[in-house]
Amino acid sequence: MLVAPDVFAMWIDTHCHLSASEFAPDAAAVVARARAAGVGQMVLPAVDTADFAPVQALAHAHGLAYALGLHPLALDRLSDRAAETAALDALDAALDACRDDPRRVAVGEIGLDHFVPGLDRARQERMYAAQLGLAARHGLPVLLHVRRSADGLLKHLRRRPGMGGIAHAFNGSLQQAQAFVDLGFALGFGGALVFERALQLRTLATQLPDSALVLETDAPDIPPPWLYRRAEQRAAGLAHGRNEPAELPRIAQTLADLRGWDAAHTAAQTTRNALAALPRLAGLCGALPQPHPLP
């Protein structure tokens, strides 16, 4: 991996939903604030077929990276098996159409969600397995949604050795984390790590190999404590503060404190890990990318 040394002085937000409606009024200002904070690159995952064009447009407009995939929480919008097939065909076609686009770095966000009640788990598993197949066919790593579902995700990954990617917002056990690492995955840490009561997650962040850690915001979701509002505050009409990629360096400070690193080492290590997990990112990180129009 040959990149300019100054690349390792910047931060990479490996998971940011810049296409979310919360950012519609001021996406350019959000990116500008992130860049001013030292966040030199962001990965924008899609959540459904309607999100493919917006994430591509944002990535090209602002010099960012993107991934295309079908999020497990979006799958209940599909009415039947025919709709599942149509969505997968649309993803396959979109990945094929942008095969020469250097900003396409992964398939994602895909995975399993066993936390939200009432979701069709059989459909989730079918669609997850099928999307792993598409990622393999297109030679791309994956961005995984892991919510009380690590074992189910790992079962399918073991059938596709060499896949690689990032287990986003990981919050499982050390044994599960090590299983992802053994399969070539990095683990994403964000705002949840900053909460002092997140003892298991904080312990996990100290136990993993240096090479396994990447940073993310999941913006606008998973706000860190300084943006978080308790249930009684939300009931009184106070909304969470909006999470943005510019929060990443402050989130990273918690990881640095837990690992006994300084900020410069934390930026260098997590950037190196992000480029290893998503190899096509290296081509975008020789310097701060310059915006250019969507072709």
Instruction: Determine what percent of the chain falls in helix, strand and coil, rounding each to the nearest 5.
Output: 50, 15, 35
Asked if 187 and 177 touch (Cβ cutoff 8 Å), the reply is yes
Residues in the chain: 295
Reported confidence tier of residue 4, pLDDT bands at 50, 70, 90: low
Reported confidence tier of residue 105, pLDDT bands at 50, 70, 90: very high
Q: What are phi and psi of 195, to 5 degrees?
A: -70, 125
Give the CA-trace dihedral at 263, 268, 271, 273, to 10 degrees. Answer: -110
Q: How is residue 153 written in tokens? A: 């995700």
Reported confidence tier of residue 275, pLDDT bands at 50, 70, 90: very high
Q: What are phi and psi of 78, to 5 degrees?
A: -85, 130
Q: What does pLDDT average to over the chain? A: 93
Residue with tokens 């009415």: 79
Measured CA to CA, the distance from residue 197 to residue 145 in angstroms comes to 22
